[in-house]
Amino acid sequence: MVDIFYNGFNTCPNTVRIGGVIDLIRVFLWKSLFITLTEVYNLKYFFWTYQKFYHLCCTSSFSLFFIHSSFLSKSYFFYHVTPTLFISVVILMRASPKLFLMSTEITEFRCQYRALIDRLAETEKGEGELSAKWAQCSGHCLEVLRHLRKPIADQGFPDRDTEIYFFKHIKPAIVGRHRYYKRIYQLHLGELKGCWSREKERLRLQQDALVKFREEHKSLWQYYQSGGTALDAAYFLRENYDLLDMPLSTGYDEIFCTCGDGLLAELIGIELQLQYIEGLLKAGEQDVNKNQPPTTIQLTWTDTTTSIVELGYSLYARKCFNGGRASIKEVMGFLSELLKVDLVRYYDTFSQVRERKMNPTKFLDELKNSLLKYMDDLDDK
Protein backbone atom coordinates (compact mmCIF):
# COMPACT_ATOMS: atom_id res chain seq x y z
CA MET A 1 0.00 0.00 0.00
CA VAL A 2 2.79 2.39 0.93
CA ASP A 3 4.75 1.65 -2.28
CA ILE A 4 1.64 2.34 -4.36
CA PHE A 5 1.20 5.62 -2.52
CA TYR A 6 4.84 6.58 -3.15
CA ASN A 7 4.81 5.56 -6.79
CA GLY A 8 1.70 7.60 -7.41
CA PHE A 9 3.81 10.74 -7.31
CA ASN A 10 6.12 9.38 -9.99
CA THR A 11 3.60 8.02 -12.50
CA CYS A 12 1.80 11.26 -13.23
CA PRO A 13 1.49 12.16 -16.93
CA ASN A 14 2.30 15.67 -18.12
CA THR A 15 4.89 16.11 -15.39
CA VAL A 16 7.72 18.47 -16.23
CA ARG A 17 10.88 16.36 -16.39
CA ILE A 18 14.17 18.08 -15.67
CA GLY A 19 16.31 14.97 -15.68
CA GLY A 20 16.45 11.34 -14.65
CA VAL A 21 18.86 12.01 -11.79
CA ILE A 22 16.60 14.65 -10.28
CA ASP A 23 13.64 12.26 -10.51
CA LEU A 24 15.60 9.56 -8.67
CA ILE A 25 16.61 12.01 -5.94
CA ARG A 26 13.01 13.25 -5.64
CA VAL A 27 11.62 9.72 -5.32
CA PHE A 28 14.28 8.84 -2.75
CA LEU A 29 13.48 11.92 -0.66
CA TRP A 30 9.73 11.28 -0.82
CA LYS A 31 10.19 7.68 0.26
CA SER A 32 12.46 8.69 3.14
CA LEU A 33 9.98 11.28 4.37
CA PHE A 34 6.98 8.96 4.18
CA ILE A 35 8.82 6.04 5.77
CA THR A 36 9.89 8.25 8.67
CA LEU A 37 6.41 9.69 9.17
CA THR A 38 4.60 6.37 8.93
CA GLU A 39 7.01 4.73 11.37
CA VAL A 40 6.84 7.53 13.94
CA TYR A 41 3.09 8.03 13.73
CA ASN A 42 0.22 5.62 13.35
CA LEU A 43 -0.07 4.78 9.62
CA LYS A 44 -3.88 4.85 9.62
CA TYR A 45 -4.08 8.36 11.09
CA PHE A 46 -1.29 9.64 8.81
CA PHE A 47 -3.14 8.71 5.61
CA TRP A 48 -6.43 9.96 7.08
CA THR A 49 -4.80 13.33 7.80
CA TYR A 50 -3.29 13.51 4.31
CA GLN A 51 -6.67 12.73 2.75
CA LYS A 52 -8.24 15.65 4.64
CA PHE A 53 -5.39 17.95 3.64
CA TYR A 54 -5.67 16.85 -0.01
CA HIS A 55 -9.40 17.63 -0.01
CA LEU A 56 -8.69 21.07 1.49
CA CYS A 57 -6.21 21.84 -1.25
CA CYS A 58 -8.67 20.73 -3.94
CA THR A 59 -11.36 23.11 -2.71
CA SER A 60 -9.22 26.12 -1.80
CA SER A 61 -8.81 29.26 -3.87
CA PHE A 62 -5.06 28.77 -3.53
CA SER A 63 -5.18 25.54 -5.56
CA LEU A 64 -7.57 26.96 -8.14
CA PHE A 65 -5.12 29.77 -8.85
CA PHE A 66 -2.33 27.31 -9.65
CA ILE A 67 -4.56 24.91 -11.58
CA HIS A 68 -5.69 27.64 -13.97
CA SER A 69 -2.18 29.03 -14.39
CA SER A 70 -0.59 28.35 -17.74
CA PHE A 71 2.76 27.25 -16.32
CA LEU A 72 1.41 24.46 -14.06
CA SER A 73 -0.71 21.48 -15.05
CA LYS A 74 -3.48 20.18 -12.82
CA SER A 75 -1.82 16.79 -12.40
CA TYR A 76 1.51 18.37 -11.45
CA PHE A 77 -0.20 20.39 -8.72
CA PHE A 78 -2.06 17.47 -7.17
CA TYR A 79 0.84 15.03 -7.37
CA HIS A 80 3.68 17.37 -6.40
CA VAL A 81 2.56 20.65 -4.84
CA THR A 82 -0.08 19.19 -2.51
CA PRO A 83 2.20 16.55 -0.92
CA THR A 84 4.97 19.10 -0.58
CA LEU A 85 2.67 21.48 1.26
CA PHE A 86 1.49 18.63 3.50
CA ILE A 87 5.03 17.57 4.41
CA SER A 88 5.89 21.22 5.12
CA VAL A 89 2.95 21.52 7.51
CA VAL A 90 3.96 18.29 9.26
CA ILE A 91 7.52 19.54 9.69
CA LEU A 92 6.28 22.86 11.06
CA MET A 93 4.08 20.97 13.53
CA ARG A 94 6.89 18.67 14.67
CA ALA A 95 7.01 20.37 18.11
CA SER A 96 3.66 18.73 18.95
CA PRO A 97 3.13 15.98 16.37
CA LYS A 98 0.87 13.86 18.55
CA LEU A 99 -1.64 16.69 18.82
CA PHE A 100 -1.43 17.32 15.08
CA LEU A 101 -2.03 13.67 14.16
CA MET A 102 -4.39 13.08 17.05
CA SER A 103 -6.40 9.88 17.20
CA THR A 104 -10.17 10.00 17.22
CA GLU A 105 -10.17 8.44 20.71
CA ILE A 106 -8.06 11.27 22.15
CA THR A 107 -10.29 13.82 20.46
CA GLU A 108 -13.34 12.16 22.02
CA PHE A 109 -11.70 12.18 25.47
CA ARG A 110 -10.94 15.89 25.14
CA CYS A 111 -14.49 16.68 24.05
CA GLN A 112 -15.97 14.83 27.02
CA TYR A 113 -13.63 16.60 29.43
CA ARG A 114 -14.50 20.04 28.02
CA ALA A 115 -18.19 19.20 28.30
CA LEU A 116 -17.66 18.24 31.95
CA ILE A 117 -15.86 21.53 32.71
CA ASP A 118 -18.71 23.51 31.14
CA ARG A 119 -21.24 21.50 33.14
CA LEU A 120 -19.35 22.08 36.40
CA ALA A 121 -19.09 25.82 35.74
CA GLU A 122 -22.81 26.00 35.04
CA THR A 123 -23.61 24.11 38.25
CA GLU A 124 -21.35 26.35 40.36
CA LYS A 125 -23.02 29.48 38.99
CA GLY A 126 -26.51 28.11 39.59
CA GLU A 127 -28.78 28.89 42.50
CA GLY A 128 -28.91 26.90 45.71
CA GLU A 129 -26.78 26.11 48.74
CA LEU A 130 -23.07 25.68 48.24
CA SER A 131 -23.02 22.23 49.83
CA ALA A 132 -25.69 20.98 47.44
CA LYS A 133 -23.83 22.39 44.41
CA TRP A 134 -20.54 20.81 45.48
CA ALA A 135 -22.22 17.44 45.94
CA GLN A 136 -23.78 17.79 42.49
CA CYS A 137 -20.42 18.67 40.90
CA SER A 138 -18.81 15.67 42.55
CA GLY A 139 -21.56 13.49 41.13
CA HIS A 140 -20.96 14.89 37.63
CA CYS A 141 -17.30 13.85 37.83
CA LEU A 142 -18.16 10.32 38.95
CA GLU A 143 -20.74 10.02 36.18
CA VAL A 144 -18.19 10.90 33.49
CA LEU A 145 -15.63 8.50 34.98
CA ARG A 146 -18.11 5.63 34.84
CA HIS A 147 -19.02 6.57 31.28
CA LEU A 148 -15.34 6.56 30.24
CA ARG A 149 -14.49 3.31 31.99
CA LYS A 150 -16.99 1.16 30.11
CA PRO A 151 -15.54 1.45 26.56
CA ILE A 152 -12.01 1.17 27.97
CA ALA A 153 -12.96 -2.06 29.75
CA ASP A 154 -14.66 -3.43 26.61
CA GLN A 155 -12.30 -2.29 23.85
CA GLY A 156 -9.13 -0.98 25.49
CA PHE A 157 -6.97 1.64 23.78
CA PRO A 158 -5.92 1.64 20.11
CA ASP A 159 -2.27 2.36 20.99
CA ARG A 160 0.08 3.27 23.83
CA ASP A 161 0.02 7.00 23.07
CA THR A 162 -3.75 7.14 23.56
CA GLU A 163 -3.48 5.21 26.83
CA ILE A 164 -0.78 7.55 28.13
CA TYR A 165 -2.78 10.61 27.12
CA PHE A 166 -5.89 9.36 28.93
CA PHE A 167 -4.12 8.48 32.20
CA LYS A 168 -1.99 11.64 32.14
CA HIS A 169 -4.40 14.35 31.01
CA ILE A 170 -8.00 13.10 31.28
CA LYS A 171 -8.57 10.76 34.21
CA PRO A 172 -6.35 12.62 36.77
CA ALA A 173 -8.03 15.93 35.89
CA ILE A 174 -11.50 14.48 36.47
CA VAL A 175 -10.60 12.54 39.64
CA GLY A 176 -8.74 15.60 40.95
CA ARG A 177 -11.83 17.76 40.57
CA HIS A 178 -13.97 15.09 42.22
CA ARG A 179 -11.66 15.11 45.26
CA TYR A 180 -11.55 18.91 45.22
CA TYR A 181 -15.33 19.22 45.59
CA LYS A 182 -15.37 16.66 48.40
CA ARG A 183 -12.56 18.47 50.24
CA ILE A 184 -14.07 21.95 50.11
CA TYR A 185 -17.35 20.49 51.34
CA GLN A 186 -15.49 19.03 54.34
CA LEU A 187 -13.56 22.29 54.76
CA HIS A 188 -16.74 24.28 55.30
CA LEU A 189 -18.15 21.76 57.77
CA GLY A 190 -15.52 22.92 60.26
CA GLU A 191 -15.94 26.63 59.56
CA LEU A 192 -15.62 28.86 62.65
CA LYS A 193 -18.21 31.55 62.06
CA GLY A 194 -18.03 34.78 64.01
CA CYS A 195 -14.31 34.54 64.77
CA TRP A 196 -12.19 35.43 61.78
CA SER A 197 -8.86 35.18 63.62
CA ARG A 198 -9.45 31.55 64.53
CA GLU A 199 -10.97 30.72 61.14
CA LYS A 200 -7.95 32.30 59.47
CA GLU A 201 -5.64 30.19 61.62
CA ARG A 202 -7.57 27.04 60.69
CA LEU A 203 -7.36 27.83 56.97
CA ARG A 204 -3.63 28.54 57.25
CA LEU A 205 -3.03 25.19 58.94
CA GLN A 206 -4.98 23.43 56.19
CA GLN A 207 -3.04 25.35 53.56
CA ASP A 208 0.32 24.42 55.14
CA ALA A 209 -0.64 20.72 55.21
CA LEU A 210 -1.55 20.77 51.51
CA VAL A 211 1.65 22.58 50.54
CA LYS A 212 3.69 20.08 52.56
CA PHE A 213 2.11 17.14 50.72
CA ARG A 214 2.76 18.79 47.37
CA GLU A 215 6.40 19.40 48.30
CA GLU A 216 6.83 15.76 49.31
CA HIS A 217 5.75 14.71 45.82
CA LYS A 218 7.09 17.64 43.83
CA SER A 219 9.01 15.41 41.41
CA LEU A 220 5.82 14.14 39.76
CA TRP A 221 4.14 17.55 39.96
CA GLN A 222 7.10 19.33 38.34
CA TYR A 223 7.29 16.62 35.68
CA TYR A 224 3.61 17.10 34.88
CA GLN A 225 3.81 20.90 34.92
CA SER A 226 6.88 20.96 32.66
CA GLY A 227 5.18 18.87 29.98
CA GLY A 228 7.85 16.15 30.13
CA THR A 229 7.32 12.84 28.31
CA ALA A 230 10.41 10.76 29.15
CA LEU A 231 8.72 8.92 32.05
CA ASP A 232 5.21 8.74 30.59
CA ALA A 233 5.41 4.98 30.01
CA ALA A 234 6.46 4.34 33.62
CA TYR A 235 3.82 6.63 35.14
CA PHE A 236 0.85 6.24 32.83
CA LEU A 237 0.80 2.75 31.28
CA ARG A 238 -1.23 0.09 33.08
CA GLU A 239 1.31 -2.62 32.27
CA ASN A 240 3.88 -0.78 34.43
CA TYR A 241 1.67 -0.44 37.48
CA ASP A 242 4.17 -2.14 39.83
CA LEU A 243 7.24 -0.57 38.26
CA LEU A 244 7.34 2.38 40.69
CA ASP A 245 6.38 2.46 44.36
CA MET A 246 3.89 5.30 44.36
CA PRO A 247 1.55 6.49 47.14
CA LEU A 248 -2.22 6.60 46.66
CA SER A 249 -2.06 3.53 44.45
CA THR A 250 -4.30 1.40 46.64
CA GLY A 251 -7.57 0.02 45.34
CA TYR A 252 -5.89 -1.34 42.23
CA ASP A 253 -8.08 -1.64 39.15
CA GLU A 254 -6.10 -3.28 36.34
CA ILE A 255 -8.45 -1.80 33.74
CA PHE A 256 -8.57 1.77 35.01
CA CYS A 257 -5.38 2.47 37.03
CA THR A 258 -1.70 3.19 36.52
CA CYS A 259 0.97 3.79 39.14
CA GLY A 260 1.01 7.56 38.57
CA ASP A 261 -2.51 8.72 37.76
CA GLY A 262 -3.79 8.42 41.37
CA LEU A 263 -1.07 10.61 42.84
CA LEU A 264 -1.34 13.08 39.97
CA ALA A 265 -5.11 13.35 40.58
CA GLU A 266 -4.42 14.08 44.25
CA LEU A 267 -1.93 16.82 43.34
CA ILE A 268 -4.37 18.40 40.87
CA GLY A 269 -7.09 18.39 43.53
CA ILE A 270 -4.68 19.94 46.05
CA GLU A 271 -3.77 22.71 43.60
CA LEU A 272 -7.45 23.55 43.13
CA GLN A 273 -8.04 23.47 46.89
CA LEU A 274 -5.07 25.78 47.55
CA GLN A 275 -6.51 28.29 45.08
CA TYR A 276 -9.89 28.06 46.82
CA ILE A 277 -8.40 28.57 50.31
CA GLU A 278 -6.39 31.54 49.08
CA GLY A 279 -9.63 33.04 47.79
CA LEU A 280 -11.29 32.51 51.19
CA LEU A 281 -8.39 34.20 52.97
CA LYS A 282 -8.48 37.23 50.69
CA ALA A 283 -12.26 37.55 51.00
CA GLY A 284 -12.06 37.27 54.80
CA GLU A 285 -9.40 39.97 55.05
CA GLN A 286 -11.42 42.27 52.82
CA ASP A 287 -14.52 41.79 54.99
CA VAL A 288 -12.54 42.54 58.15
CA ASN A 289 -11.04 45.69 56.65
CA LYS A 290 -14.44 46.81 55.35
CA ASN A 291 -16.08 46.34 58.74
CA GLN A 292 -13.22 47.93 60.66
CA PRO A 293 -14.48 51.08 62.39
CA PRO A 294 -12.84 54.26 61.06
CA THR A 295 -11.01 55.15 64.25
CA THR A 296 -7.43 55.41 65.43
CA ILE A 297 -8.27 54.63 69.06
CA GLN A 298 -6.53 51.45 70.25
CA LEU A 299 -7.86 49.70 73.33
CA THR A 300 -6.09 46.78 74.98
CA TRP A 301 -7.68 44.39 77.47
CA THR A 302 -5.55 44.53 80.63
CA ASP A 303 -7.70 42.45 82.97
CA THR A 304 -7.48 38.65 83.21
CA THR A 305 -8.70 36.10 80.69
CA THR A 306 -10.88 34.62 83.43
CA SER A 307 -12.75 37.92 83.65
CA ILE A 308 -13.58 37.77 79.94
CA VAL A 309 -14.87 34.22 80.34
CA GLU A 310 -17.14 35.33 83.20
CA LEU A 311 -18.40 38.20 81.08
CA GLY A 312 -18.94 35.99 78.03
CA TYR A 313 -20.93 33.35 79.88
CA SER A 314 -23.05 36.01 81.59
CA LEU A 315 -23.86 37.60 78.21
CA TYR A 316 -24.68 34.15 76.81
CA ALA A 317 -26.90 33.28 79.80
CA ARG A 318 -28.66 36.64 79.45
CA LYS A 319 -29.26 35.87 75.73
CA CYS A 320 -27.79 39.19 74.65
CA PHE A 321 -26.84 38.18 71.08
CA ASN A 322 -29.09 37.33 68.12
CA GLY A 323 -32.17 37.08 70.27
CA GLY A 324 -30.60 34.32 72.34
CA ARG A 325 -29.80 32.14 69.29
CA ALA A 326 -26.01 32.66 69.45
CA SER A 327 -24.05 29.71 70.86
CA ILE A 328 -21.47 30.07 73.61
CA LYS A 329 -18.82 29.20 71.02
CA GLU A 330 -19.89 32.12 68.85
CA VAL A 331 -20.06 34.50 71.83
CA MET A 332 -16.57 33.59 73.01
CA GLY A 333 -15.28 33.79 69.45
CA PHE A 334 -16.73 37.28 69.10
CA LEU A 335 -15.09 38.45 72.34
CA SER A 336 -11.80 36.85 71.32
CA GLU A 337 -11.85 38.69 68.00
CA LEU A 338 -12.99 41.99 69.54
CA LEU A 339 -10.54 42.05 72.44
CA LYS A 340 -7.66 40.29 70.67
CA VAL A 341 -7.38 37.69 73.41
CA ASP A 342 -6.88 33.96 72.97
CA LEU A 343 -9.92 32.17 74.39
CA VAL A 344 -9.33 28.72 72.92
CA ARG A 345 -9.52 27.08 76.37
CA TYR A 346 -12.52 29.07 77.57
CA TYR A 347 -14.40 25.94 78.65
CA ASP A 348 -11.57 24.85 80.97
CA THR A 349 -11.43 28.35 82.43
CA PHE A 350 -15.18 28.35 83.05
CA SER A 351 -14.89 24.97 84.80
CA GLN A 352 -12.36 26.52 87.17
CA VAL A 353 -14.71 29.44 87.80
CA ARG A 354 -17.50 27.06 88.74
CA GLU A 355 -15.25 25.23 91.19
CA ARG A 356 -14.59 28.35 93.25
CA LYS A 357 -15.63 27.77 96.85
CA MET A 358 -16.37 31.44 97.42
CA ASN A 359 -17.66 34.10 95.10
CA PRO A 360 -17.75 32.26 91.70
CA THR A 361 -18.80 35.50 89.97
CA LYS A 362 -15.96 37.59 91.36
CA PHE A 363 -15.43 39.74 88.26
CA LEU A 364 -19.13 40.41 87.73
CA ASP A 365 -19.57 41.41 91.37
CA GLU A 366 -16.59 43.75 91.18
CA LEU A 367 -17.96 45.12 87.91
CA LYS A 368 -21.30 45.84 89.57
CA ASN A 369 -19.68 47.44 92.65
CA SER A 370 -17.42 49.59 90.51
CA LEU A 371 -20.39 50.88 88.50
CA LEU A 372 -22.39 51.65 91.66
CA LYS A 373 -19.43 53.48 93.18
CA TYR A 374 -18.94 55.49 89.99
CA MET A 375 -22.61 56.50 90.01
CA ASP A 376 -22.41 57.50 93.70
CA ASP A 377 -19.34 59.63 93.01
CA LEU A 378 -21.22 61.43 90.26
CA ASP A 379 -24.07 62.17 92.66
CA ASP A 380 -21.68 63.63 95.25
CA LYS A 381 -20.24 66.15 92.82
Mean of pLDDT over the chain: 76
74-78, 202-206, 361-365: segment of lowest average pLDDT: 74-78
Query: In 3D, which of 2, 165, 121, 9 has the Cα closest to residue 75?
Result: 9
Looking at residue 182, what is its pLDDT? 92
Identify the domain containing residue 78 by its residue range.
2-98
**Do residues 233 and 160 lie in contact, with contact meaning Cβ atoms separated by under 8 Å?**
yes
User: Do 154 and 186 reside in the same domain of the chain?
Assistant: yes
Q: Is the pLDDT of residue 42 over 70?
A: no
| Stated pTM of the model | 0.54
Residue 327 in domain: yes
Q: Where are the alpha helices (DSSP H) in 41-81?
A: 43-59, 61-67, 74-76
User: Do 138 and 116 reside in the same domain of the chain?
Assistant: yes
> 253 phi and psi, to 5 degrees?
-125, 105
Looking at residue 25, what is its pLDDT? 56
Looking at residue 376, what is its pLDDT? 85
Classified as helix, coil or strand, 179 is helix
Query: In 3D, which of 124, 54, 64, 122 has the Cα closest to residue 89?
Result: 54
Q: Is the pLDDT of residue 58 over 80?
A: no
Looking at residue 164, what is its pLDDT? 92
Residue 298 in domain: no
The more confidently predicted of residues 226 and 91 is: 226
Residue 154 in domain: yes
Residue 215 in domain: yes
**Greatest CA span in the chain, whole angstroms?**
128
Considering its fold, how many domains does the chain have in total? Answer: 3
**267, 291, 315 - which closes a domain:** 291
Residue 297 in domain: no
User: Do 28 and 60 reside in the same domain of the chain?
Assistant: yes
Percent of the chain whose predicted confidence (pLDDT) is above 70: 67
**42, 70, 98 - which closes a domain:** 98
User: Do 253 and 362 reside in the same domain of the chain?
Assistant: no
Average pLDDT over residues 88-107: 54
Looking at residue 336, what is its pLDDT? 86
As a whole number of angstroms, the distance between CA 123 and CA 139 comes to 11
**Do residues 14 and 76 lie in contact, with contact meaning Cβ atoms separated by under 8 Å?**
yes
User: Do 87 and 20 reside in the same domain of the chain?
Assistant: yes
User: Do 255 and 109 reside in the same domain of the chain?
Assistant: yes
User: Do 143 and 276 reside in the same domain of the chain?
Assistant: yes
Query: In 3D, which of 228, 230, 255 has the Cα closest to residue 241?
Result: 255
